Amino acid sequence: MKANIVEIVKNSPSYKELIAKRTSFSLKLAAVMLVMYYAFILVIAFDKKLLGVSLSGGVTTVGIPIGMGIIVFSFILTGIYTKRANSEFDALSEKVKEEVKKAGE
């Protein structure tokens, strides 16, 4: 029975849609985060003075708020993923469960 359920889930159109959408969305968000992070690191590596400019003549440099912004942006991306997961992805998961129940009857 277990192997049968696995096959039902694997062949479910809703499951295939869920996997495709979730993978695509995750890769897009990961790419955005990696580009931002590596751009920041590359600026540090190749133009240290750019991020080392003082904001107001004090200790705080331009790099500090940019680094903090990257951290905040990562939280925002997490929130975006969570919102979509709780709406669209959970709805597709429920469809898969219903299809398995119908097939098991």
Tell me the per-residue pLDDT of 50-101, one tens digit each, with 9 for 90 and over.
888 998 888 889 999 999 999 999 999 999 999 999 999 999 999 999 888 8
Token pair belonging to 8: 């039902």
Domain limits, the chain: 2-104
Residues 22-31: contacts with CB within 8 Å, 24+ apart? Answer: 22/85, 22/89, 25/81, 25/84, 26/81, 29/77, 29/80, 29/81
The CA angle 60-66-68, to the nearest 5 degrees, is 85
pLDDT of residue 105: 65
pLDDT of residue 57: 83
Tell me the per-residue pLDDT of 10-25, one tens digit each, with 9 for 90 and over.
888 899 999 999 999 9
3 state DSSP class of 60: coil
